[in-house]
Structure formats: C-alpha cells, structure tokens
Amino acid sequence: MMNLNQLVLASHNAGKLKELQAMLGDSVQLRSIGEFSQVEPEETGLSFVENAILKARNAARISGRPALADDSGLAVDFLGGAPGIYSARYADGKGDAANNAKLLDALKDVPDAERGAQFVCVLALVRHADDPLPILCEGLWHGRILHAASGEHGFGYDPLFWVPERNVSSAELSPADKNQISHRARAMDLLRQRLGLK
C-alpha cells in the first residue's frame, strides 16, 4: 500500500500527538504537521468526517507525504450534540479552560440523568493530497458531564468527562488507561486493523 514507517499527523494539538503516538508504538513514527507549517486550515466541514479529510488533505499537500488527521469532539445530549464539531472553538478560541467553563454553565442545574455525552473521534488517512479513497475510522466513548472539573491528565474536556466503567473522570485516568478505552483508542484500533498492523 504505502510506506507507513512514518506518517504526518495533521494536527496542531500536542495532546492528540502524544496519545496517537503511544497507541501506535514503534511501528509508525508520527511527525507533526507543525514541523512543516504553523498555518492551521479552516475547519469548514459540517461533520467530523469532512473536517478530518480536509485536514488530512491539507497536511499531505503541505508535506508531500501520507497524512493522518484526527477530528474529534464532545457531543452533549442535553445540548443536542453541541459543541460537537465546534468543540475546540466552543468559547470562541479562548482555550480549554474557557471551553470547560462555558460547558459547565450551559449545564448548570441539569440533573445527572440528563448529562449524558460522548466523545467522538474520526481518523482520516490519505496517501496523497488528492487521494480518492481516504481510509476513515471512527470511535465513540460514552460518559457523563461532571458538575466540576476533576483530574490533571489528558487535555480539553477530560476533567469534565465522567467515565462510568471506571468511576473516575477521564483526566483522572492514567494516560495508558485512557489510551485503552477512549474514542481515539477505538478509532485507532480500527485503523490498525485496516492497515494490517495488528
């Protein structure tokens, strides 16, 4: 298929790079698109799939190499699936802390039973910028939104995401544990199967 010893990761998010590289182990080395360009493409798609493909194509074009993109986010039931594809920009680009504060505010006084949410991850792999057949893999992770932040690991909304199967927040899981069960882990599992890496 393609030489997969090395892949360009179409992401400027250091948390994703760390998690995805840990999942891949030594078999594939991820190089951040940040090594090639600091310009982030506008995520104009209406779905995780469209944005993942858009980012992967952009990175393949800039680097001239096969590229992997991750488009992910948090879909909250009570908010009709918001912030969803807009998760990174929920508080207008003010960052993780502002995103988390806005989410807590939006769910103020909402009881536990209505605080269900899922993390979504779509991985897109393109062999080159105009690849007509991107490989797409998705993963979901069901949980609940806490009433206050808890935990120091991870990134983004992790301190607010309660993991029912472990009785802790996602930011209280060790990185190794999160990488076993997260939305990203599930998507990566499928990708490794598709690539014959497992």
Ligand X SMILES: O=P(O)(O)OP(=O)(O)OP(=O)(O)OC[C@H]1O[C@@H](n2cnc3c(O)ncnc32)[C@H](O)[C@@H]1O
* Annotation: binding site for substrate: 11-16, 72, 155-158, 178, 183-184
Q: Which of Mg ion, ligand X, none does residue 147 bind to, with CB < 5 to 8 Å depending on kind? A: none
**Structure token pair of residue 96:** 């993780």
DSSP H stretches of helix in 27-182 = 48-63, 96-106, 175-181
138 vs 158, which CB is nearer to ligand X? 158
**Which of 161, 195 has the CB closer to ligand X?**
161
Q: Is 71 a catalytic residue?
A: yes
The secondary structure of residue 73, as a DSSP letter, is E
Which positions ≥6 away from 141 have C-beta within 8 Å?
118, 119, 121, 163, 181, 182, 183, 186
Is residue 110 within 8 Å of residue 128, measured between CB atoms? no
Q: Which residues in 158-197 contact ligand X (CB under 6 A)?
A: 158, 182, 184
- Kindly list the residues in this chain that would bind Mg ion in the complex (CB under 5 A): 88
Q: Which is nearer to Mg ion, 13 or 169 (CB)?
A: 13
Going residue by residue from 58 to 97, which x/- string records binding to ligand X, judged by CB under 6 A?
------------xxxxx------------xx---------
Q: Where are the beta strands (DSSP E) in the chain?
A: 6-9, 29-32, 67-76, 116-126, 135-145, 161-163, 168-169
Give contact residues for ligand X (rule: CB under 6 A).
11-13, 16, 40, 43, 70-74, 87-88, 99, 119, 154-158, 182, 184
